[in-house]
Amino acid sequence: MENDIAIKVTDLEKVYKLYDRPSDRLREALHIGRGKHHTEHRALKGVNMTIRQGECVGIIGTNGSGKSTILKIITGVLSATAGDVEVNGRISALLELGAGFNMEYNGIENIYLNGTMIGFSQKEIDRKMDEILAFADIGDYVYQPAKTYSSGMFVRLAFAVAINIDPEILIVDEALSVGDVFFQAKCYHKFEEFKAMGKTIVFVSHDLSSISKYCDRVVLLNQGVKLGEGAPKKMIDTYKQVLVGQYTPPESEVERLLDDEQLRAMAAKGVDGSKLEGQQQGETGENKGIGCTENPDLLEYGSKKAQITEYYITDEKGTRTSTILKGSAFTIHMRVVMTERVAAPIFAFTIKTVRGTEITGTNTMFEKAFLESVEAGETKEITFTQDMNLQGGEYLLSLGVTGYEEDDFTVYHRLYDVMSVTVISDKDTVGFYDMNSKVTVK
């Protein structure tokens, strides 16, 4: 393995044997009867992934996509059915609540237990003890049995051990979502320190804002298959397609995906020929962003029962432009044509950073502005007017038309990152927003 590679996963497969009854497991183990007494579930299907030293890599996907399984194989908690995993560096992992804890031990004893499991001597743990206790900050509970801990205490102590024993590779699986907001902030600050020190981080989370902010690269898994990897914004946008069953694989991937019988059923929902038409990236049909900077590689998908045919922004004088002065009013315009009858369509916009973090947005359902059915052939003109209070800089605008059909959320048309918005400012404050504070000093 190359010296700059921290983790290399090659053709990784994981198959679980599922038994209907405990007796079936015993019968198979004792070779009683003919045939198999189990069904197989393929949790990972030929996954390849390379993580270089110093990278912060996020892994995202729906529940059951194989995210936790691949982390457990990398850390040695599970064994692979097939394929290879190579690790170059000492790993510290925070996989799931209570993992690696003895419920009868107190916090101090569990610190030594975890440190020893990672490979540290008692003297090394002694030197780190004060830092671990200060970071965990659970007070005298550290002298109580772990079985008395709340979920937040578990996370605090486990992360304090994982982060303070100088690992070369840190692996975190969703656990931070349990801690309180102050502890999460402290953990993410530690992430930034780790990145600055050139350490490797593998991060699984459903918090897409954190994935976008901290990760250099993102791997997207779905039903055990790696759908892609790349820049956080691109992978997050693709993940959102997967969530609504409208993911369109590149043509080179379709044949490979359809080779798997289990995936054929999955792909039929989002790769059906009738749905592929007009849903490729960059194919905007009649969409025209007049007076704005359009994105030639925008991501577009949806059933097209309702179609966005025009969009633009106007400033407070009514001029079409994508450059807005901070503190002034501006309006987002969207024209939508109904190709079929739609019951209570929801019109929406979102503004994101260039890295893909959603900052703000709203829709007609939130605003209680439109809750009616629209007939086929009708056209609706939608406007969203608000003050521009974002800091100066570049942002991305996304538009959408969605709704509910028999309680199922449905995407009729989405245009991700359809155009850029430039905010001009002569006074920027901290963060994304200016709260327009009124300041007095006496």
Domain 5-232 has CATH 2.20.25.90: no
Q: Alpha-carbon distance 28 to 41, whole Å?
A: 17
Structure tokens belonging to residue 308: 């966005």
* CA distances (Å), origin 125, targets 113, 117, 293, 387: 10, 11, 56, 54
Query: Angle 151-164/181-196 helices, nearest 10 degrees?
Result: 10
pLDDT tens across the length of the chain (442 residues): 677 899 999 999 999 988 888 887 877 777 777 777 778 889 999 999 999 999 999 999 988 899 999 999 998 889 999 999 999 988 888 876 666 788 999 999 999 998 888 778 889 899 999 999 998 889 999 999 999 998 888 888 888 888 887 789 999 887 666 667 778 778 888 888 888 888 999 999 888 888 888 899 999 999 999 999 999 988 998 998 888 888 877 655 544 444 444 444 444 433 333 333 333 333 444 445 555 556 777 889 999 999 999 999 999 999 999 989 999 999 999 999 999 999 999 999 999 998 888 999 999 999 999 989 999 999 999 999 999 999 999 999 999 999 999 889 999 999 999 999 999 998 899 989 999 999 999 9
Structure tokens belonging to residue 15: 């198959």
What DSSP element (H or E) covers 251? helix 251-258
Assigned superfamily of 278-424: abc- transporter (atp binding component) like domain (2.70.50.60)
pTM: predicted TM-score of the whole model, two decimal places = 0.77
Domain boundaries, the chain: 5-232, 278-424
Instruction: Kindly report the number of other CB atoms within 10 A of residue 36's CB atom.
Output: 11
**DSSP-assigned letters across all residues of 192-227:** HHHHHTT-EEEEE-S-HHHHHHH-SEEEEEETTEEE
Beta strands in 163-283 (DSSP E): 169-173, 200-204, 217-222, 225-230
